[in-house]
Amino acid sequence: MLTIRLARAGRTKSPFFRIVVTEHTKPVKAGYTEVLGWYNPLNHKMEVNADRAKELIANGARPSERLAKLLHTHTKDELFKNYYTLKTKNRKPKKEQEGK
């Protein structure tokens, strides 16, 4: 099965990610089949071939959860929303201090 995921590149403290298609059993730093685009998290810029990603998903590839969330925010396409879950923060209220 093919997976669409992020592959880290760049130097220390300046991350840069390629959006790649690879076999799901391969390690993250191993070779990849195709490069679909890139993502720079420092200034939140992304360039991706979304049409090719949709085509691969239609043929059985699965995007990683983080990449699906990034693609959904970048393209506003509902297809990518199906591949990640929204996590709610269940914070408990701070206990009021007694004695003040």
Domains of the chain: 2-83 (3.30.1320.10)
Query: Would the pLDDT of 84 be above 80?
Result: yes
The predicted pLDDT at position 37 comes to 96
Give the span between the Cα atoms of 100 and 98, in whole angstroms: 6
Query: Would the pLDDT of 55 be above 60?
Result: yes
Cβ atoms of 33 and 42 closer than 8 Å: no
Q: Is residue 31 very low, low, confident or very high in pLDDT (cuts 50, 70, 90)?
A: confident
Q: pTM (2 decimals)?
A: 0.80
The predicted pLDDT at position 59 comes to 94
Tell me what percent of the chain is helix, strand and coil, each rounded to the nearest 5. 25, 35, 45
Task: Check residues 29 and 82 and name the one with the higher pLDDT.
Answer: 82
Q: Is residue 3 very low, low, confident or very high in pLDDT (cuts 50, 70, 90)?
A: very high
Tell me the backbone φ, ψ of residue 46, rounded to 5 degrees: -145, 140
